[in-house]
Each structure stands twice: as structure tokens, then as C-alpha cells.
Structure 1
Amino acid sequence: MADILQSLADGPASRVAWYLVGVGIVGLFGNGMAGQYGDRSAMGVTVLSLAVPPAASLATITLTGRTMLFLIPFAIWGAAGNAGVIANQLRVMNEAPEARAFASALSVTIAQVGIGLGALIGGKVIDAERLAALASANAAIGIAGLAVALLIVVTVRRSKQQVVPAACDP
């Protein structure tokens, strides 16, 4: 995000820092929304948080440097990204109620790995194709995430539908 803002918005580092603080603040809004709706459908919030950021990043990149309106999709990108972390944490904790602390810790670790992989992939895309290609890469990653979410939904539904035979007393 910082590279996008500094390169495309052509702003000084101090302004970029304030933009990133703003993303953190709207991220709190995303956290609150995920907490509110995640109890009803953590997977639904997860899917939404996978679908929204690619479109928001494309709009951010398209509008950055042309108008301050880029801050609107930039804020949406930040809120949706943060909502995804909370939704995943709620989903994992609900799937393992007997080990909520472990599930929560695992979810946080996975989120950190995802952030690191996103930075790594984003850096490689920027180095190879420049910033303009970043939105396409984000879309591809979002589609891959949606495919994984669909796989999880199907797997969980199948496991809940399987009938476990009762133990027979001899």
C-alpha cells in the first residue's frame, strides 16, 4: 500500500504515513463489521472480504494521482482486508469450540503468513510489471482465495452430513 501511495499519489512520506494510519482506523470499522456479522455467517464475511479488496485495489490504483477520490476505495480496501482477518478467526474458533485459544492463535499466525506472502507476491509483481499490474495480481489472489473458501464450505458441509454409526454393545 505504501508503494502505491508514494509512487502513484506522488506524496511525501509523511502524507503516506497518515494515509496508512487512516487505513488502520477504517480497519477498526472492518473489524467491528466482521464481529457483528461474523457470528451469523463467518464464511459469508470471509467471502466478502476476499471479493471486495481486488475491486477496491483496482479502483485505488486507477484513481490515485488523479483525484483525492482514491481515498474512498482505499478505505474500503483497508476495511475489507481487516474484516477478513476477524471473520477467519471467528470461523476457525467456531469450528473448534473445544480448542478456541489454539484456533485463535493459529488464525493469527495464518493471517501473518498471508500478509507476508501478499507483500512478497506484491513486491515481485511490482518489480516485474510495475504498479499497474498489481490490481490484476490482487484479483487473481482473490479468486484463488474464493476457490479455497468454496472448498472449505463444501468440505465442512460434507463432514456435517456424514452419519457416524453408533457404537454397538456386544
Structure 2
Amino acid sequence: MKRYAYIGCLGFIAVITTEFGVIGILPQVAEHYNISIDKAGYLLSAFALIIALTGPFMTLLTSGFDRKKIMLTAIFMFLITGFVSSFSPPFWLLMLVRILPAFLQPVYIATALSVAVSEADHGQKNELMGIVFNGVAIAMVTTVPFATWAAGLWSWEYSFMIQTLVSLAALIVIYFLLPSMPVKEKKSYGNQIRILKQTPFVFSTLTNFFMITAWFSTYSYFADYLNKAKGMDPSMVSYMLLLFGIIGVFANGAAGKMLNRNVAGTTAVFLSGTLIIPLLLYVSDGNIWATITVIGIWGSLYSPSFLNASTYMISSAPDSLEFANSLATSFGNLGVTLGTTIGGWVIVTKGVEYTPWIGFVFGLLAFLMMALKEMSEKRSRVVSTCEN
């Protein structure tokens, strides 16, 4: 039922606006608190680390609860975060309220995806998941650049005010338009964690991890990179985020349809951006129009990354949708943490212009994991054929 997918998408917009809305304002936050840019990056990496460490466990613990109540609770936590953060509290408190909703972020995503495909035919599932994940691209084209623009026009606190309003809208829509959805049959923990013993699933998980690490080593410092490496002011950066997101919306829709036909091939196509974009950014140098073109290509290849990563992992564990999704979210955010951390270290020690090359290295590792997964699956098919 597409209505459920669109409701999940709206909540995803709130989630992404809160998690990634800080990317465009990290330089202002660093200046306000008189800290380095890599320390300001903890607002993103700490959030992602909590998700990485607790995501699967929280999803297992909440798997028996009414799905509507889970989604409402999660979005309410995001609302509280935006509200408190908008008052520019001490940095330790800002960090604390930032990480609290992180405990429920993977729970929300896994639940929203499960709700979206709950009444769908098998052939529609990837497309409906694509609608939910379009929340990432829509946030990149609307709320994230708007929050960055507002921060540049007034102050960084306005970015968090916008996050609060988006969360409030999502909370209202879920409360009034989503029916109560109690879990009819709770799967045992043993049945769900069994997928961790499957070699193809392990390689798909590592593919996800390296893929997201590759993208976020540069994307986490998008504003800082465009400012220092490409000479763009905050206003221009907000326009680039807008362009990034507009193209991403279309890319996400295309990826959803492509995944219905070939999951591995689609994942490889978009993953190729981790190798292509560093080269194009280097070649574009200081040419503004060339840089804008590269940013457009960057947005088209990056935006479906979470959708591709989740679908790629689920394809290896079709009977454990929610748990596999939570692991995809968890390892994806572990990738966000590692990418942000390494990117921050490179900025401090070498310079922001070197961050895309981190993505190049991790992109190669992701392709290696895809190859190993394919080899593992072929070996399993050969063994199965011989036994029969």
C-alpha cells in the first residue's frame, strides 16, 4: 500500500534532516563553540556510532511492539532533539540530545520499511522501499539545504528549528493517518540472528560498510570541502546541496526500479561513483561550472546509497527483513562514523582537498566484498548441485 510508504518517507525526511542537517552548519558550529572542524564532526559521527552499536539490538527488542507506537516514539525523540538544540546549549548537552534519538533511528527505518511492504506483492517491494528511502533524497533537496540557507542568513540555531518543525509534521501525519499495527507473530531472536552465519550476508554487510564509509569521508564535510577546496561561500554551498538533492530524488526513483531487475548490478553502478567522483573533483579544479556538473553527478550516484546497501543486504536474507534492515542501518552508520572520523583526521593533518581519495580506497574495498560475495554464492550453488 503506497500510502504507508509515503508516510514512512515523511518520517524518514525528519530522521535525515536531523542526522545530516548538521553537515551544512559544521563550520558555524565549530566557530560558535571555538572548536576544530573535526571535533564539530562528532555531532555526526557520535550519532552514527550509537546507531552502529545499538541498532540491531534495539530492533530485536522492539520487534514485538505495535509498529505505529514505535514510529511515533522515534519521531518524538527527534523532535525533542531539534527543540533543545535550537537554544544553542553547552556543547556537551548538544552532543547528549543529538545521540538520544540515535538509539531509535534504525528502529524507525526498519519499522517504516516493514510497514511499507506489509501488504505488497513481491514484485513491488523494492519500489515501495525506494519510496521510503526517497526521504533521504527529498531531505537533501528541501530541508537540509533550506536549513543550511537559514543558518547562513541568520544563525546556525535556525537549522535546528527547521528540524523540529519537520519532526512535528511527521509526528502529526503518523498519528492521524497510520492505523494501529500490532505485530501478529513475533519471530524468535534465534531465527533472526541466524543470518549472521551466512557467508554471502557477511560479505554484503561489509560491502555496505565500505560503501558508506567511502561516500561519507567527503560528504560529511561537504560544506567545508566546497568552501576551502572550491572557494564557495555558505550561500553557494546551500545551492549546491539543493542541486545535490534535486538530482538525488530522481536517482532514488530510478534506483528503486533498477533494483527490481538486478540488485547486484544496480549496486555496482552507483558504487562506481566512489571511484569516479574523486577523479572528476580533481580534474574540475577551480572551474566553477565543471565543479557544479561534478556535484550533479555526485548527487545522482550518492543518493541511492542507503537504498542500494539495504536492498543488497536484504537480498541475502529475504526472510529476516526487519533485522537485516537494522543491520544495514547499523553498519551503514558505522561507515558514516568511520568516514567522518578519517575525513576529519585527513582535514586536520593534510587538508580537506584530500578527503575524496579516502572514498576511492574504500570504494575499491566495497567492490572487493561484492566480488567475494558472488564467489561465495557460486561456490554454494556448486556444492548444492553436487549434493543433489
TM-score, normalization by structure 1: 0.83
Larger deviation, residues 141-150 vs 100-109: 100-109
User: Equivalent residue for 1:51?
Assistant: 272
Structure 1 residues 28, 162: closer, same or farther in 2, change over 3 A?
farther
User: Equivalent residue for 1:139?
Assistant: 360
| Unaligned segments of structure 1, at least 5 residues | none
Structure with greater Cα Rg: 2
Structure 1 residues 51, 21: closer, same or farther in 2, change over 3 A?
same
Measure the CA separation in 1 of the matches of 2:337 and 2:242: 19
Once the two structures are superposed, residues 20-73 of structure 1 have per-residue CA deviations (whole angstroms, 9 ceiling, x without a partner) of: 232122222221222111122211122222222332233124425322221122
Measure the CA separation in 1 of the matches of 2:349 and 2:279: 18
- Of 150, 163, 170, which residue of structure 1 is paired with 2:384? 163
Q: Which has the higher helix share?
A: 1
Identity %: 24
Measure the CA separation in 1 of the matches of 2:299 and 2:260: 21
Measure the CA separation in 1 of the matches of 2:223 and 2:377: 37
User: Equivalent residue for 1:76?
Assistant: 297
User: Equivalent residue for 1:29?
Assistant: 250
**Contact 1:26–1:78 at 8 Å: present in 2 too?**
yes
- Of 227, 239, 243, which residue of structure 2 is paired with 1:18? 239
- Of 230, 235, 259, which residue of structure 2 is paired with 1:38? 259
- Higher relative contact order at CA 8 Å, sep ≥6: structure 1 or structure 2? 2
- Of 286, 289, 302, which residue of structure 2 is paired with 1:65? 286
User: Equivalent residue for 1:100?
Assistant: 321
Structure 1 residues 29, 112: closer, same or farther in 2, change over 3 A?
farther
Which amino acid is 2:312 matched to? R
Once the two structures are superposed, residues 82-135 of structure 1 have per-residue CA deviations (whole angstroms, 9 ceiling, x without a partner) of: 223212211222222211122222212222222222222222222222233233
**Contact 1:125–1:134 at 8 Å: present in 2 too?**
yes
| Unaligned segments of structure 2, at least 5 residues | 1-221
**Contact 1:61–1:70 at 8 Å: present in 2 too?**
no
**Contact 1:54–1:142 at 8 Å: present in 2 too?**
yes
TM-score, normalization by structure 2: 0.39
Which amino acid is 1:23 matched to? F
Residues 1:91 and 2:312 aligned together: yes
- Of 226, 232, 255, which residue of structure 2 is paired with 1:5? 226
**Contact 2:317–2:324 at 8 Å: present in 1 too?**
yes
**Contact 1:93–1:103 at 8 Å: present in 2 too?**
yes
